[in-house]
Amino acid sequence: MNIYADNAATTKVSKTALDAMLPCFAEAYGNPSSPHHIGQEAAKLLMAARETVAGYIGAEPSEVLFTSGGSESDNQAIITAAVLGARRGKKHLVSTKFEHHAVLHTLKKLEKEGFLLTLLDVHEDGLVRLEELEAALRPDTALVTVMYANNEIGTIQPIKEIGAICREKGVLFHTDAVQAAGHLPINVKDQNIDMLSLSAHKFCGPKGAGVFFVRKGIAITSLIEGGAQERGKRAGTENVPAIVGMAAAFKEACDNIAENTPKIRALRDKLIDGILKMDEVILNGDREKRLPGNVNVSIKGIEGESLLLMLDHVGICGSSGSACTSGSLDPSHVLLAIGLVHEVAHGSLRLSLDENNTEEEIDYILEKLPPIVERLRSMSPVWKKMKEGK
């Protein structure tokens, strides 16, 4: 059996998205900036994609910029807010300890350049406290950026409430909604969002395409200078096939949220319940306020990397959640942020499901996982010490 349970890392491109993309390579292959008919065919597809994406997030088409993905959109949002803030003497930025590195590294870079940074705690349940957020805001705060759903432990933040607090205090609010998109409702108006990031490959679209939503009236600082594409704010010939595929995938995912969510959630809950039957296993992140497809556990006494290899041998693709980039042995900053000690963080496993997973697959995982864990523990000095210490 081959089981893909790593949908938080990337997803399989849906047939709908693929079918939408193919004509962009062979027929509407023109440059959308060209006035001739082949270019204008591409321009039409681009406009339709913009309208689709805007419609599904409650935005105007003119507020949607296409980018190369989630990382670029995150960088773009933070730099934009930093430049606007600095012009008015506001150099304080607020975020959380467990953001994606596209956010954290951009913030750290700005900190080196003289910005002041407050990173909020996310507590052991992986959730920001609104009163702590409110208390962190100051007259010189230029930006609050808090992710909608976390990519490792799947916890969902109270975005609308955070947005309301920011609005009231006149602070720009950005959310990295990369993991939420296609799984949770997004409406930038209802949720008081000023800027938002999406990435196509996390909702069954192609890699290398993303969305940067920026509310009307917010002056964007370009990261890429050149031609007048994307309202002159993001130069470079548009990746029309990927953008068209992204819009098709996003529409499909959003149209099917109501149908898919209970199905995926049931698989997730069965998997969590089954895994928690093992000894000395903890679920990371709040059980209820989490993405429908996210399972993240720490299995004490084992190494996540060895576990992953053994799972791969029996056809199961997961993620260790202990190291962000393979080859790095640093435990995940997300797991440390929720208070796990290094030893426990190293034994973490993330299985992320989507609508393509089945109950048979969950049964198979639950059949294969416990004996593998038992084998690894039988060879583990850490486990031995733990058991003897009791």
Q: What CA–CA distances, in Å, run from 309 to 55, 121, 136, 317, 345?
A: 42, 32, 42, 9, 17
Instruction: Give the residue from 164, 174, 198 showing the smallest Cα distance to 85.
Output: 174
Closest residue to bound ligand PLP by CB: 70
Binding status of residue 147 toward ligand PLP by CB under 6 A: yes
Binding status of residue 95 toward ligand PLP by CB under 6 A: no
Binding status of residue 199 toward ligand PLP by CB under 6 A: yes
Binds ligand PLP by CB under 6 A, chosen from 92, 100, 233, 377? 100
Rounded Cα gap, residues 159 and 385, in angstroms? 43
Rounded Cα gap, residues 180 and 191, in angstroms? 13
Q: Least distance from C-beta 69 to ligand PLP, angstroms?
A: 3
Question: Of the two residues 193 and 372, which places its CB atom closer to ligand PLP in the complex?
Answer: 193
Binds ligand PLP by CB under 6 A, chosen from 41, 63, 176, 303? 176
Which residues are CB-contacts of 389 (< 8 A; sequence separation ≥ 6)? none
Which range, of 129-137, 158-166, 196-204, 223-231, touches ligand PLP by CB under 6 A?
196-204
> Active-site residue numbers?
324
Question: Of the two residues 243 and 281, which places its CB atom closer to ligand PLP in the complex?
Answer: 243
Binding status of residue 71 toward ligand PLP by CB under 6 A: yes
Which range, of 160-168, 175-183, 231-239, 263-271, touches ligand PLP by CB under 6 A?
175-183
Does residue 45 contact residue 244 with C-beta atoms inside 8 Å? Answer: yes
177 CB-contact burial (10 Å; exposed 0-12 / middle 13-18 / buried 19+): buried
Binding status of residue 211 toward ligand PLP by CB under 6 A: no
Binding status of residue 179 toward ligand PLP by CB under 6 A: yes
Binds ligand PLP by CB under 6 A, chosen from 13, 122, 162, 178? 178
Question: Of the two residues 43 and 177, which places its CB atom closer to ligand PLP in the complex?
Answer: 177
- Give φ, ψ of 186 to 5 degrees: -130, 125
Which amino acid appears at position 229 of this protein? Answer: Q
**What does 115-128 look like in DSSP terms, one character per residue?**
-EEEEE--TTTT--
Binding site for ligand PLP (CB under 6 A): 69-71, 74, 100, 102, 147, 151, 176, 178-179, 199, 201-202, 210
